[in-house]
Amino acid sequence: MSSSHVLTKYDYFEKRGLLAPKPKFPFGNCKGAYTGKQNIIYDLNDIYQQFRKKTSFVGYFEAKTPKILVISPDVAKDVMIKYFKNFHDNEIASLFDKEADPLLARNPFVLKGEEWKEKRAEVTPAFTSTRLRSLFPLVEEVLERFKNYVHKEIPKNEPFDIREISAKFTTDVVSSCIFNADAHSFTKEKPEIREMGRKLLDFTSSGAQFKFLILTMFPWIRKFHKISFVPKAVHEFFINLMEQAVTMREKSNIKRDDYLSYLIELKKKKNLADIDMAAHGVTFFTDGFETSSLAIAYMLYEIANDKRVQEKLRKQINEELIDENGKIIYEKMLEHEYLDQIFHETLRLHPIIMFFNRECTEEITFDCNGKDFKIEKGMSVNVPIYSIHRDPDYYVNPTEFVPERFDAENGGVKEFRNRGVLMPFGDGSRICLGMRFALMQSKAAVIEIVRNFELSVNDKTQKPLKIGATEIFNVKSGGLWLDMKAIK
């Protein structure tokens, strides 16, 4: 964000004829987030609700920085697809420095311009259908450990922190697929890979929150001081883990069509530096670890909360998705209509990334209520996925969990995605790289749990669910707690 934007007075939008809620010094329109009273998505949702029937986008302020909040799905699609060259980069890129955060700053989600294009092209082939299929036996091994862990814990008569055990599952899966390592998530109290993965993405600590606050209120500081969000020890751990994995794989001569083998081939082909290898490994790790574990947790929560859905899904799993040897039928799992509806309805209600942010990289003029509004280079544009997903103009009874809303007679999932009102993974060229991997491991986990256990929501779960005030991802305060009972 240029200094001219940062120092703008609060009459920025008024002078340009764009609707905007009245900001208040020093927090602008995001007092709840800056004072720690509520997650920023609730501040943005308040603005969305105020203007959703009045305009296609509005202005607002985060502290003293003017930004755009998209209201119309058509404008959202324009920003993420049609005019991608004008909104090429994610604003978050400006927060990370390659010297201070060498791994996260090399993630395609963070990278800008041609560098983003180059690095995304390097990792995209790793997510082909063929490679995903070849990884499924590794997922099945972890599924068995997942099931056995739940069986072992049930006699303790304690509720399950479903987010935590889902994270155990995804940590073991991605550690196996990427680092050829057993993370021991189901056998050790605090397995090292799990703990380091947690620290890698821990932006909720008081220290990280303070850094975010400082950088958003005084972005010019970045020019004079490099701020790190990830501890040096975490960087070193993942760099060493990747080096050890490559060395062991090359010495063993084991042929395994996983992500590690792809990265080794890529290193030879492009002569990648060790830091770039480790960064790609961490990219795969973060894509498959945190977001997928939350998706699994929310799916199991909603299934536990609705006995009708649970019984219907379990019946279809047993009749359609399990072979005579008790194994999941991979192809049928991926294309199964009801399971897919549950997955997308879950992420409609609980999008893991609650808004997508684009920085204007090339000045463009949009029509807004019959008037031209110039979006200047450097201006940030936010697409509030959370609010769009819960808009009653697009969904009947939007706060209710109804997988059948995506029935074929309503156009299925595809119809809602085409309209720009269902975007759990984003859209356009920057759509989530790990989307298909997330679908695969999330669906497999849900099948394994639902066919083996009866689920119910424990009273320890705080209702109504509320997103934690300092969370970057969609994480609910107090956790998601379920009771499980083995099906004999």
E strand or H helix at 100? none
E strand or H helix at 161? strand 160-161
For 184, left (φ over 0), alpha (ψ -120 to 50), or beta? left
Please state, in angstroms and rounded to a whole number, the distance separating the CA atoms of residues 262 and 267: 9
Q: Strand 65-70 vs strand 380-383: parallel, antiparallel, or unpaired? A: parallel
DSSP 89: B
- The strand pairing partners of 373, in sequence order, are 366
Within 13 Å, how many C-alpha atoms sit on residue 33's CB side?
24
DSSP 272: -
Contacts of 408 (CB under 8 A, 6+ apart): 337
Please state, in angstroms and rounded to a whole number, the distance separating the CA atoms of residues 324 and 337: 21
Helical pair 337-349 and 274-305, crossing angle rounded to 10 deg = 100
Please state, in angstroms and rounded to a whole number, the distance separating the CA atoms of residues 434 and 283: 9
Contacts of 166 (CB under 8 A, 6+ apart): 292, 293, 294, 296, 297, 300, 445
Answer yes or no: is 360 a known binding residue: no
Please state, in angstroms and rounded to a whole number, the distance separating the CA atoms of residues 292 and 193: 16
Read off φ and ψ for residue 3, nearest 5 degrees: -65, -30
For 231, left (φ over 0), alpha (ψ -120 to 50), or beta? beta
- The strand pairing partners of 424, in sequence order, are 426
Please state, in angstroms and rounded to a whole number, the distance separating the CA atoms of residues 268 and 326: 40
Show binding-site residues.
Answer: 432
Show binding-site residues for heme.
Answer: 432
